[in-house]
Amino acid sequence: MTHQRTRMLGLVAGAGLLAGGPAAAQEFITIGTAGQTGLYYVVGQSICRLVNRRADDNGLSCTASATGGSIANLNGIASGDLDFGIVQSDWQYHAVNGTSTFADAGPNENLRAIFSAHADVVTVVARADSGIETLQDLPGHRVNIGNPGSGSRATAEVLLETVGIDVGSFSLASELQSSEQSAALCDNRIDAMMFSAGHPVGNIKEATVSCDTRFLQIDAPEVEAMIAETPYYSAATIPAGLYEGQEDEIRSYGPLATFVTSTDTSDEAVYAVVKAVFDNFDRFRDLHPAFANLEKQDMITRGIIAPLHPGAERYYREQGWM
């Protein structure tokens, strides 16, 4: 049986079992997310909430686990430790093609896409008293670039390379997880933090209400050229006034958050998960402000780099979306 760690079939004990009646088989599925203060965790918990509401019909028990993020999720799916994962579209691309971080592993031919969600906006927040006003001011300062294994960390490294900043130029390149960076910023243990997220997000809100901060514009010509050259980045903004003290619209870019699995996951399980989300689409969009503008057609086309899983494709065809 594939994915024995997370997709084993369990017997649900109850009065019927104790009385000698038949036991119901239940399939356990696990979704890899990211840190608990980030939006990926919210996405995973939201999907599981909808799946588990229909457990009597679909026979699934869904758990969304906190993980290191996109790259950890892609590795977990490849190894069989995870059934599903939420990953940035840029790292979905690299996993499919065996490039960048996945060059040694080679192309993951078993990776399958399901749908995309919100945009992950590349975000750099600095202490207001740090003297950091632009990306080029980062050298010589203490900067959190994110924890290894996260898509946010890898995307930060891509941005720095693109604009010609060496991580070695920082007085400190810290590797704090998303749940730790806001406190570090406001405790004056770092001067700036780099993070990719759908907005609004809790850990950045925490920083802006706890200390005076400044959001950096990420609109250098090198960034614009990178957006034009890649199939997984697009221009993005953080609306003015979304966070305390953030008076201006912030220009940036980013990938999409995408929901993926592998060919080892059954068509029935994927179909049931997709059905739980899209049959309750209004409820799903209400679960977080970042989901409010999601559109079904965009979710099944934008950011889809790996082939669609047949279970997802079956549902979309039934709805007449393909």
197, 38 Cβ separation under 8 angstroms: yes
Looking at the fold, whether 150 and 270 belong to one and the same domain comes out as no
The pLDDT assigned to 7 comes to: 44
The pLDDT assigned to 25 comes to: 67
The residues, ordered by sequence, that sit 6+ positions from 304 with a Cβ below 8 Å of its Cβ are: 113, 115, 116, 258
Q: How many domains does the chain have?
A: 2
163, 226 Cβ separation under 8 angstroms: no
Looking at the fold, whether 45 and 113 belong to one and the same domain comes out as yes
**Positive or negative torsion for Cα 173, 174, 175, 181:** negative
The residues, ordered by sequence, that sit 6+ positions from 292 with a Cβ below 8 Å of its Cβ are: 285, 286
Q: What is the DSSP letter of 308?
A: B
Last residue of a domain, one of 222, 254, 286: 254
Looking at the fold, whether 60 and 111 belong to one and the same domain comes out as yes
The pLDDT assigned to 289 comes to: 87
Last residue of a domain, one of 254, 273, 290: 254
Tens place of pLDDT per residue across the chain (322 aa): 344 444 444 434 444 444 444 445 689 999 999 988 888 999 999 999 999 999 999 999 999 999 999 999 999 999 999 999 999 999 999 999 999 999 999 999 999 999 999 989 999 999 999 999 999 999 999 999 999 888 889 999 999 999 999 999 999 999 998 889 999 999 999 999 999 988 998 889 999 999 999 999 999 999 999 999 998 998 999 999 999 999 999 999 999 999 999 999 999 999 999 999 999 999 999 988 889 889 999 999 999 999 999 999 999 999 999 9
Domain of 177: which CATH number?
Answer: 3.40.190.10
Q: Is 52 contained in some domain?
A: yes
The pLDDT assigned to 44 comes to: 96
Q: Is 27 contained in some domain?
A: yes
113, 299 Cβ separation under 8 angstroms: no
Separation of alpha carbons 69 and 82, rounded Å: 12
Looking at the fold, whether 115 and 151 belong to one and the same domain comes out as no
What is the span of the domain harbouring residue 168?
121-254
Picking from 71, 86, 33, 26, the residue whose alpha carbon sits closest to that of residue 52 is 26
- The amino acid occupying position 34 is A
| pTM score | 0.82
List, for residues 38-81, the tens digit of each pLDDT value.
889 999 999 999 999 999 999 999 999 999 999 999 999 999 99
Looking at the fold, whether 286 and 168 belong to one and the same domain comes out as no
**Distance of alpha carbon 167 from the chain centroid:** 24
DSSP code per residue over 189-253: S-SEEEEEE-SS-HHHHHHHHHS-EEEPP---HHHHHHHHH-SS-EEEEE-TTSSTT--SPEEEE
Last residue of a domain, one of 212, 231, 254: 254
Three-state SS for 128-159 is CCCCCCCHHHCCCCEEECCCCCCHHHHHHHHH
Q: Is 2 contained in some domain?
A: no
E strand or H helix that includes residue 71? helix 70-79
- The amino acid occupying position 59 is G
Looking at the fold, whether 52 and 143 belong to one and the same domain comes out as no
